[in-house]
Amino acid sequence: MTLSEVMKVLKATCLTWQCLLEERNVQTACGADLLSDVLAHDKEKTILLTGLIHPQVIRTAEIIDLVGVVFVRGKLPSQDVIKLAEAKGIPILCTDYQMYESCGLLYKAGLGVVSNE
Amino acid sequence: MNNGQFFPKVADVMTREVITITSDSTVRQAKEIMRLNCISGMPVVDQEKVLIGIISVADIIRVMEENDLDAKVSKIMTTNPVFLREQDTVGQALSANRQYKYGRFPVLDEKSRVVGILTASDIVARLAQLLKIDQVEEHDESKGPKDFTMQTIDFHIHGMNFEKAGEAASTIKKILTDLGLRKTVIRRAAIAAYDAEMNVVIHAYEGRLIAHITPEDVTIKAMDIGPGIEDISLAMQPGYSTAPDQIRRMGFGAGMGLPNIKKSADEFSIESSPRGTTLVIKILVE
């Protein structure tokens, strides 16, 4: 699934790197409000769904090469977060769906869990 | 700026454009200077720029209550103010900051002339800037040949500065990527460096993150000046955390930092005392 399909499924808006949405493939997702849990996630081509909207989310995304970040529950990040994501090449999507619904909708649309190779 | 130097000096982080006033000026003038420059205090100097006192908003409010704005600054200034020397370390400046609770410290040269001013936010801002300068230099160096022998990158990390937290790990990751190391090695090193960096930011006053890269292995050393870890075996348990609530609200402090580091490392050691903590993380390249 591409990021632009994720955007459609979640009726999301894109805040950064709209130009990357078509070309970025997503294999699985990680839904977490604990960044340590995200850091322990060891799959590739992952998007993060989270209710946290501070800059460390973007740092974490950069460290583990997330393909994008989705802010759930209609939360909007500050300009600092947007600027950091622009600088680091991390696409940001925002959806009004809450975490459980967002994960469910993506799972239903075919974005499953990848088993460890 | 940090060639073999442990921690930066006051001269590295202070603001050099310091606004001063002479003791024969009036309080009214002092008030205007402070209002126009949006500052809450300034050093009082003589004609040779030698420090003789300090004046703050609190002093001015006192004078306004007494309706005496035409009084001379010399009448209301605090004499014998606490000051720093250019060659003092940032660590000394921070402990002065903790001890005296003043908002700002004049910085003097060897002739007791005011050459700068230092606030706690200066320290944070300048360290962040220095870190950025380090990164640019190091990043350029990494553009060199891929058959490198070894590289060492050294970062200062400042406790509680969340604005820049993660930049050191991010730079280490970029350099490892430029050197063409394997993806899994880069990922493990980046995660370990980031968790170690966040530990310093969350728990320590200041510290260093050093990455030593050879064709055989990547060694990341995190050394901090901080309260230390009381019980290391407890801290190594997944889920155990001493992080304050504000940190947990940011999504950290889940008690997974050290276990994550250990999981990422091929070799891992930790030493801690009430003076600070040192982590050594080694990741084999092949």
CATH of the domain at B169: 3.30.565.10
Do B108 and B199 lie in a common domain? Answer: no
Closest alpha carbon within chain A to B248: A34
Looking at residue B133, its pLDDT comes to 52
Closest alpha carbon within chain B to A51: B251
Tokens encoding B59: 């002093």
Looking at residue B253, its pLDDT comes to 84
Q: Which domain holds residue B88?
A: 10-122
Is B170–A54 a contact, with Cβ atoms under 8 angstroms apart?
no
Looking at residue B280, its pLDDT comes to 96
From the candidates B139, B170, B188, which should be mutated to test the interface with A, based on the most A CB atoms within 10 A?
Answer: B170
Is A35–B263 a contact, with Cβ atoms under 8 angstroms apart?
no
Do B182 and B231 lie in a common domain? Answer: yes
Do B21 and B87 lie in a common domain? Answer: yes
Do B106 and B151 lie in a common domain? Answer: no
Out of B122, B155, B183, a domain closes at B122
Do B276 and B163 lie in a common domain? Answer: yes
Is B194–A60 a contact, with Cβ atoms under 8 angstroms apart?
yes
For chain B, the domain total comes to 2
Average pLDDT for consecutive 10-residue bins of chain B (286 residues)? 58 84 92 81 92 90 86 91 88 80 85 89 71 50 57 89 90 90 93 94 92 93 93 91 86 88 94 94 93
Do B259 and B185 lie in a common domain? Answer: yes
The domain that holds B76 is classified in CATH as 3.10.580.10
Looking at residue B99, its pLDDT comes to 77
Looking at residue B140, its pLDDT comes to 44
Residue B20 lies in a domain: yes
Q: What contacts B160, CB < 8 A, 6 or more positions away? A: B201, B202
Out of B122, B152, B183, a domain closes at B122
Looking at residue B60, its pLDDT comes to 87
**pTM of the entire structure?**
0.63
Superfamily of the domain at A3-108? HprK N-terminal domain-like (3.40.1390.20)
Do B57 and B184 lie in a common domain? Answer: no
Looking at residue B84, its pLDDT comes to 93
Q: What is the pLDDT of residues A10-60, one digit of tens each?
A: 999 999 998 889 999 999 999 999 998 898 888 889 999 999 999 999 999
Looking at residue B6, its pLDDT comes to 53
Domain chopping of chain A, boundaries: 3-108
Do B151 and B78 lie in a common domain? Answer: no
Q: In this prediction, what percent of chain A has a pLDDT beyond 90? A: 73
Contacts of B198 in chain A (CB under 8 A): 56
